[in-house]
Amino acid sequence: MTISEVMRQTGLTKRAIRYYEEEGLINPSINNENSYRDYHSEDIDKLIKISLLRQIGLSIDNIKELVNSPTSINDVLKLHLDKINRNIKDLEKSKNLINEIIENNKINSTNDFMEKLKSLKENIELEDKNKFGYIKRQLLKIFPGSFGKMLILHFSPFLNDPVDDEDKEKAWNDIVKFLDEAEPFNYPQEFYNNSGDFSDDVLEKIAAENNKEIQSLLNYTPQELEEYKIKFMESLNSMNENKDFVEIRQKMWKSNLDFKNRLQSSGYYDRFVNNLRILSSDYDKYQTILQKLNDELGLYYDSDGNIAVNSSVDQK
């Protein structure tokens, strides 16, 4: 079976199929006559299972443990069914509260009425936690203005997971507590000059482009990652040869460094970043990939703010 037929039957992209193959989740045979991959019905079945498990939020590592075990998959689906039933229960509760409030709107000054409003507010917030984009919506409330926009612009691809288990709930509560107690963050003026006037539509478009690039990086095969490293180094060398670019980067270096130091001392990296890795499996994977690339390429900032390469690191 050709990859085109696999794409048709599974609804997956060619890149996704190649990625799952590189991860060892499927193992198509090779046609000796033309060296093309030959996919079988077993591969189709596995890809459908993989796609389903990804849709309900499992990581690739978790899927590797589950994909060949029908019993384990059933356990995961039972947990997901429990989550769906909880969501239905929460929605039904909100529906009943709204009906009660509408029917009793003539007594809207009574304690009973206000208690129902309070219960409805709490229940809607509970529902919202289980919805796509909850973290993003909350951060925009916490950080209105330019800083909030920059925060969403930077982290948008990783702010869509629901807060739907105890570990995520704990991580989210710690982020909220940190943001509530931390001194206000002020980005360097250079950031404001470039981003402060962004409309929501423009912000969404930029965030969508960022998301596209990040998702590509997250789904690169090992070969594509090697190609990415080559292109990155070519781009870096080109930028370092551009005197105008180097001058601008050096001007921004001091203010950027001061800002990063303030973030470090505030606990931003320990509490916000580390907890975001718990909230978003994609962010955790993204940080791991970036660290791997940085280690393999030997990148660091010199005293003038230039991106330099450690000559002792083998660039392969």
Per-residue DSSP letters for 12-54?
--HHHHHHHHHTTS---EE-TTT--EE--HHHHHHHHHHHHHH
Domain for residue 314, yes or no? no
Residue at 316 is within a domain: no
Asked whether 136 and 156 are in contact (CB, 8 A), the reply is yes
Shared domain check, 233 and 142: yes
Task: Give, in order, the Cα–Cα distances in Å from 215 to each of 121, 218, 227, 283, 286.
Answer: 35, 5, 16, 10, 9
Same domain, 272 and 241: yes
Structure tokens that stand for 169 in this block? 């709930």
Q: What tens digit of pLDDT does each residue of 155-214 get?
A: 878 887 777 788 988 998 888 788 667 665 555 555 545 444 555 566 666 667 777 778
pLDDT tens digits, 237-257 = 887 777 777 776 666 666 666
The number of distinct structural domains making up the chain is 3
Closest Cα partner for 280 from 133, 143, 75, 82? 133
Higher pLDDT, 51 or 184: 51
Tell whether 48 and 124 lie within a shared domain: no
The mean pLDDT of 272-301, rounded to a whole number, is: 86
The token duo for 297 is 């390429």
Higher pLDDT pick, 38 / 159 = 38
Q: What is the pLDDT of residue 39?
A: 92
* Residue 23 dihedral angles phi and psi, to the nearest 5°: -80, 0
Kindly state whether residues 18 and 101 are assigned to the same domain.
no
| Same structural domain, 125 and 226 | no
Domain extent at residue 116: 73-129
Digit-coded pLDDT (tens) for 108-149:
556 676 677 777 776 666 666 666 666 777 666 656 556 666
Q: pLDDT at residue 315 above 70?
A: no
Last residue of a domain, one of 46, 66, 86: 66
120 and 9 both lie in a single domain: no
Q: Which position has the higher pLDDT, 116 or 304?
A: 116
- The rounded mean pLDDT for the chain is 76
